[in-house]
Amino acid sequence: MLKIDRLSTSYKTIHGDVRVVNNLDFTINDNEIFGIAGESGCGKSTLLKALYDIIDFPMQVDSGRVILSGEKEGNPFHFETGEIRKTWWNNISYVPQAAQSVMNPITHLRNQFLDSIPESQRKNETKKQTLERCAAYLKELDLSPDLLGAYPFQLSGGMRQRVIIALATFMSPNVVLADEPTTALDVVVQRGILMMLMRLQRQLKNTLVLVSHDMGVHYQITNRMGIMYSGSFVELGKTEDIFSDPIHPYTEMLIGALPRVGDKSQKAGIPGRPPALTNPPPGCRFAPRCPKAKEICHRQCPEFVEVRPGRFAACHMLGKEGI
């Protein structure tokens, strides 16, 4: 289980600290695919970094913590912000947006696999035996074991992403975090990567946290999702409920902007741009773009409340104006 306990993070800049994740408080369950959606710059990748404990300058945690707890092979574990990196690969792993950014370009993939497996996890194996296990795992994922002898630059973008997913799941981590894993890939490759992530999650019965700006990706594979806007969640719930009955005006507009096969009508999109995090507006941060905004919205921030069991939203107009 991954518990996000009143977490706020910011970046240090020459103009002062800029708050990017704002007092988030929610839980991601075992054995689910949880999606984090929202426009670029809303804080979703920063949140993912905090979940993975990549808190390096200029990023900082202002308050709160992330708790990773559970049980693996009969052994309970509990790690909090600042300790989570001790269990990278083993209990939690990360699939970055651009696979090449985490691969060493001048070493064979076999070394990247060996480097990611701590000695303590090699089960008294020789390197040869560990590599045999890696080759068998690649085969299980319908990838050629010969890939272990390749350099990253010899692979296509899609193949590099598949190898990173194999690397991230080799030790059967309880949680896999994936940051825009299909961005910049063509739709066919994108589908293949999504299917691979889904299949692995089902096989490992673990938790997959998927960050994507693409609502179509969330619709296809996530079980629950949170919609982020300007550093906070504005809506959270089961994915099917959010798509069939969006509560928050921002969610409604995001879903309304999705193209549909056979629908030739022009999509309205969402007017304006998300606010600059250096100078966010007072009250509801979506107010300058919201067609349902009222006077109160411009001066008071709405609370994030449970609207019905398992369904949360932050809007002053809940229960009014058809919201």
Residue ranges that bind ligand SF4, judged by CB under 6 A: 248-249, 284, 286-287, 290, 292-293, 297, 302, 315-317
The helix/strand/coil state of 100 is: helix
Q: Report the nearest approach of ligand SF4 to the CB of residue 276 (Å).
A: 18
Complex with ligand SF4: residue 286 or 312, whichever CB lies closer: 286
Q: 191 vs 292, which CB is nearer to ligand SF4?
A: 292
Q: How far apart are CB 120 and ligand SF4 at their closest, in Å?
A: 49
Q: Encoding tokens for residue 30? A: 């075992």
List all residues 6 or more positions away from 95 whose beta carbon is below 8 Å from its beta carbon. Answer: 161, 164, 165, 168, 176, 177, 178, 179, 181, 197
CA–CA dist 144, 317 (Å, integer): 54
Token pair, residue 57, equals 């300058």
How far apart CA 199 and CA 202 sit, in angstroms, is 5
> Cβ of residue 319: shortest distance to ligand SF4, in angstroms?
11
Least separation, in Å, of the C-beta of 296 and ligand SF4? 7
Phi, psi for 316 (deg, rounded to 5): -65, -25
Radius of gyration of the chain (CA): 21
158 or 249: CB nearest ligand SF4: 249
Q: Which residue, 178 or 253, has its beta carbon nearer to ligand SF4?
A: 253
- Tell me whether residue 162 or residue 248 sits nearer to ligand SF4 (CB atom): 248
Minimum distance from CB of 323 to ligand SF4 (Å)?
7
Please identify which residue in the block is written with the tokens 């370009």.
105
Max Cα distance, the chain (Å) = 68
